[in-house]
């Protein structure tokens, strides 16, 4: 069967695949467009499998809150190169995945990949784009938060996204304060909201390091534990959000800053997702 340039262009517009790939698929499918689309999708699956061991250190973070600001959703869509991360089709896929995550509330990345989005699942759409672009693409993060107020923040370049869940807003406008705290999280990368949320293994490690440093410095044995406790407190101050020095006003901690905005305002939880780190 003679495959015309018009046929190839039509399939290219339908799928976004390359010209030669479209011509080959139409030839193999004897001009049947639906069969040709299936062949291109299979090609996408083959590309996906062949690039499974590739690193995806580039990409974009996408985040959205509901109209009331009570719930936020964040996804990270990764690829191999920054060139693809800026691709219009890649960005459109990220937005579509985010919208489906917001509307259907899947419980995990696997459930998100299985969601229907038109005629295809999210997972199939990812595979299709892999076939068109020729790079490995994957969802590396999917996070949800619910609170009195959820504030979303995307750092320049969309390589880092933050959601911060605030409690105690009681209907007040705390968006500016929430954004300040989200920017603090982006810059300072705290390990937890407060010291009681730090993993016990991390606490034990920090105490052990403090103890070993005190011994190495020749400190008297009767004050070694006190020194180790002091170093642990310093770790909490530097690495837990509410105890960190507020970057916009060094006279305040983040906790005191929020209290100055509204009595009882505090951080319930947060998520920080960075592409490539």
pLDDT tens figures, 114-163? 999 988 999 999 998 998 888 999 999 999 999 999 999 999 789 999 99
Statement: residue 243 has pLDDT above 80: yes
Mean pLDDT of 203-212: 94
Q: For residues 209, 213, 219 and 220, what is the CA-based torsion angle, rounded to 10 degrees? A: 30
SS3 assignment for 22-70: HHHHHHHCCCCHHHHHHHHHHHHHHHHHHCCCCCCCEEEEEEEECCCCC
CA gap 180, 195 in Å, rounded: 21
Distance between terminal CA atoms of the chain? 51
Residue 277 pLDDT grade (very low, low, confident, very high; cuts 50, 70, 90): low
CATH of region 5-50: 1.10.8.10
Place of tokens 């509307």: 103
Per-residue tokens: 258 = 């929020």
Average pLDDT score over the chain:
93
pLDDT tens figures, 69-121? 999 999 999 999 999 999 999 999 999 999 999 999 999 999 999 999 988 99
Class of the CATH domain delimited by 53-146? alpha beta
Q: Which residues contact 224 (CB under 8 A, 6 or more apart)?
A: 211, 214, 215
Domain boundaries in the chain? Answer: 5-50, 53-146
pTM over 0.75: yes
């Amino acid at each position: 069967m003679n495959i015309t340039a018009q046929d190839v262009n039509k399939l290219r517009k339908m799928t976004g695949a390359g010209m030669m790939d479209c011509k080959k698929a139409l030839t193999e499918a004897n001009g049947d467009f639906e069969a040709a689309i299936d062949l291109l999708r299979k090609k996408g699956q083959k590309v996906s499998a062949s690039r499974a061991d590739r690193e995806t250190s580039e990409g974009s973070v996408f985040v959205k809150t509901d109209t009331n600001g009570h719930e936020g959703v964040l996804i990270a869509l990764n690829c191999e190169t920054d060139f693809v991360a800026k691709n219009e089709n890649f960005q459109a896929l990220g937005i579509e995945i985010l919208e489906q995550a917001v509307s259907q509330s899947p419980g995990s990345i696997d459930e998100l990949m299985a969601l229907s989005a038109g005629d295809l699942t999210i997972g199939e759409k990812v595979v299709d784009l892999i076939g068109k672009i020729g790079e490995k693409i994957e969802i590396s993060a999917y996070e949800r938060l619910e609170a009195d107020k959820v504030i979303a923040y995307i750092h320049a370049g969309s390589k880092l996204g933050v959601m911060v869940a605030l409690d105690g807003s009681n209907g007040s406008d705390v968006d500016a304060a929430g954004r300040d705290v989200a920017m603090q999280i982006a810059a300072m990368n705290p390990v937890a909201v407060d010291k009681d949320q730090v993993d016990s293994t991390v606490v034990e490690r920090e105490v052990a390091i403090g103890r070993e440093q005190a011994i190495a410095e020749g400190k008297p044995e009767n004050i070694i534990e006190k020194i180790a406790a002091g170093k642990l407190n310093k770790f909490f101050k530097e690495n837990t959000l509410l105890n960190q020095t507020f970057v916009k006003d060094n006279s305040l901690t983040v906790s005191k800053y929020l209290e100055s905005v509204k009595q009882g305002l505090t951080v319930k939880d947060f998520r920080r997702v960075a592409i490539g780190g």
